[in-house]
Copies of this chain bind each other. A is one copy, B any other.
Amino acid sequence: MNIPNLNDIQKAAEIIKPYIHKTPILSSNAINKITGGEIYFKCENFQKVGAFKIRGAVNAVFSLNEKEIKRGVATHSSGNHAAALALAASYRGAKAYIVMPETAPEIKIKAVRGYGAEITFCKPTLKAREDTLKKVVEKTGAIFIHPYNDYRIICGQGTAAIELLNETGKLDLVIVPVGGGGLASGTGISVKSMFSETEVIGAEPTMADDAYRSFYGGKIFPSVNPQTIADGLLTSLGDKTYPIIRKFFNDIVLVDEDMIIEAMRLIWERMKIIIEPSSAVPLGAILSGKIDVKGKKIGIILSGGNVDMEKLPWLVSH
């Protein structure tokens, strides 16, 4: 399969429509005043499982034929993809096998279990996760669904930008957080295919700057032990997401931890909505002066709202 196009993403949108929320798009007079821009926030924090991840997971699960789905699906994840895949599998009455690090937060374990998935715990290292997943797949015959380096996932995640632009019309600029690049690459395809003049910019934590280095370095430079409060953005670009981002993105900008926290708190206080730190990186890029939005119409995808309420970043010393 070649790089997906807008048509592929529109097909994904049709497939997933009955299973996801059409999330609202919100604006804040206060934040517009502070930034000088006209910002439209696509609120995937209100999405099922509290994050955009359900879009890709449902699309991937519903792309499997009857014979395949009987085998079940499997993945390793300590985050939103695990819950999303578990829920998506349940929509087809299929089994989901999730490998989670034994250090995963209790609330995430409960969520995955609540959707009826079977959890296998492992040591909290990438090697242990991959080894354990391999064993689970060998034993069960389940089909591995990668959290982002998969065209079915990318197409699913790209549907959020279509919904955004269908409602706002043409924008000057869309800013999206970049982790492994599933949401970013899907957004890039959707935005540039719908409005070729609209700029697409990735916002990435300075402390997990692999996409920035890869985008400007001309090949994939993975993250090495990244440390950021934006815990959804720790992963590195894959061989499927990287070329799409290279092709469709105008820029990737880096955002320091203190600006991510400031942006997150601003959205909590002014918009009265809960977003996770990863969602705050695009506004952080604006607040830190890395992106000039004065007089422009901007779309920002708020990727999710799953936060540990015991550990709010402005109450924790770094």
Contacts and interface: CB of A to CB of B under 8 A. Distances in A.
Contacts of A272: 45-46, 50, 273-275, 305
Interface in A104-141: none
Contacts of A310: 314-315
A110 to B, nearest CB: 12
B46 A309 contact: no
Identical subunits present: 2
Contacts of A268: 274, 309
A305 B274 CA distance: 12
Nearest to A269: B309
Contacts of A269: 309
A275 B273 CA distance: 9
A152 interface: no
- Taking each of A45, A273, A314, which has the highest tally of chain B beta carbons within 10 Å of its own beta carbon? A273
Interface string A30-49: 00000000000000011000
Nearest to A29: B48
Contacts of A224: none
Interface string A252-287: 000000000000010011001111000000000000
Contacts of A50: 272
A9 B222 CA distance: 62
Contacts of A64: none
22 contacts: A24-B24, A45-B272, A46-B272, A50-B272, A265-B309, A268-B274, A268-B309, A269-B309, A272-B273, A272-B274, A272-B275, A272-B305, A273-B273, A273-B274, A274-B274, A309-B312, A309-B314, A310-B314, A310-B315, A312-B312, A312-B315, A315-B315
